[in-house]
Amino acid sequence: QQQVKQSPQSLIVQKGGISIINCAYENTAFDYFPWYQQFPGKGPALLIAIRPDVSEKKEGRFTISFNKSAKQFSLHIMDSQPGDSATYFCAASRDRGSTLGRLYFGRGTQLTVWP
Amino acid sequence: NAGVTQTPKFRVLKTGQSMTLLCAQDMNHEYMYWYRQDPGMGLRLIHYSVGEGTTAKGEVPDGYNVSRLKKQNFLLGLESAAPSQTSVYFCASSHRAHSRIFGPGTRLTVL
């Protein structure tokens, strides 16, 4: 059973546009929601993360929106640039229990930003 | 700091051969992980370790073994490689349970 569902699988955006990637989860015990960015031939790198006590977190052009009641969170990339072209993964984990720290990943979104 | 390093970067094996992938981290992290990445499947956890001398199974452990004899190293072994193990393997480490620092990956092809 997939713990975190991510959409879309691929996304094409024009330079300067807004890229939006969505994720949904079922387990209400999750309390940490990171986004990872991966460039071709490289390992994933932490981009931004949020905890459920806030509804939004912004770092530069990247914003996470979190809807606890809907069990959804999304990544918004404002003023998208060709250098943002990469694969993005959402993930979720929880602090307690036998799966302490186990990070459940979405299947990824391949973002292409056209110049 | 080198962060997380993986050896080798590329490898081609024949079915039935064995090999060991080495992961090293110089950040004094307690937690270490092995993932595999396949197209459209995201990152799937193979095995992980919460400290020196400990290992645990992830969601896709079959066909793999691991060892954590030293805190800074985490080895992933394939005893009898199969074509289904063709993948890109990523090692990661973390100080706390949540954040991960990933290595650059090992691209493995099993013929």
pLDDT tens track for A71-94 = 999 999 999 999 999 999 999 988
Cβ <8 Å between B97 and A100: yes
Length of chain A, please? 115
Residue A106 backbone dihedrals phi, psi, to 5 degrees: -75, 175
Among the partner-chain residues B41, B90, B98, the one whose CB lies closest to the CB of A101 is B98
**pLDDT reported for residue B40:** 84
Helix (H) / strand (E) element for B52: namely none
**pLDDT reported for residue B66:** 97
Cβ <8 Å between B97 and A101: yes
Residues of B in contact with A88 (CB under 8 A): none
Task: Report whether pLDDT(B97) > 80.
Answer: no
The 3-state secondary structure of chain A reads CCCEEEECCEEEEECCCCEEEEEEECCCCCCEEEEEEECCCCCCEEEEEECCCCCEEEECCEEEEEECCCCEEEEEECCCCHHHCEEEEEEEECCCCCCCCCCEECCCEEEEEEC
Residue type, A94: R
Residue A82 backbone dihedrals phi, psi, to 5 degrees: -55, -30
* CA neighbor of B49 nearest in space, from A2, A45, A102, A36: A102
Cβ <8 Å between A108 and B97: no
Cβ <8 Å between A95 and B45: no
Among the partner-chain residues B41, B94, B102, the one whose CB lies closest to the CB of A44 is B102
Q: What rounded mean pLDDT belongs to chain B?
A: 94
Q: Using CA atoms, how far apart are residues A87 and A67, in angstroms rounded to an integer?
A: 23
Cβ <8 Å between A43 and B40: no
Residues of B in contact with A89 (CB under 8 A): 42-43
Q: Using CA atoms, how far apart are residues B6 and A37, in angstroms rounded to an integer?
A: 19
Cβ <8 Å between B94 and A101: yes
**pLDDT reported for residue A100:** 60
Task: Report whether pLDDT(B96) > 90.
Answer: no
Q: Is B43 on the interface with A (CB under 8 A)?
A: yes
Tokens of B55: 């290992």
Q: Using CA atoms, how far apart are residues B20 and A56, in angstroms rounded to an integer?
A: 43
Q: Using CA atoms, how far apart are residues B101 and B81, in angstroms rounded to an integer?
A: 27
Q: Tens digits of per-residue pLDDT, B2-50?
A: 899 999 999 999 999 999 999 999 999 999 999 999 988 889 999 999 8
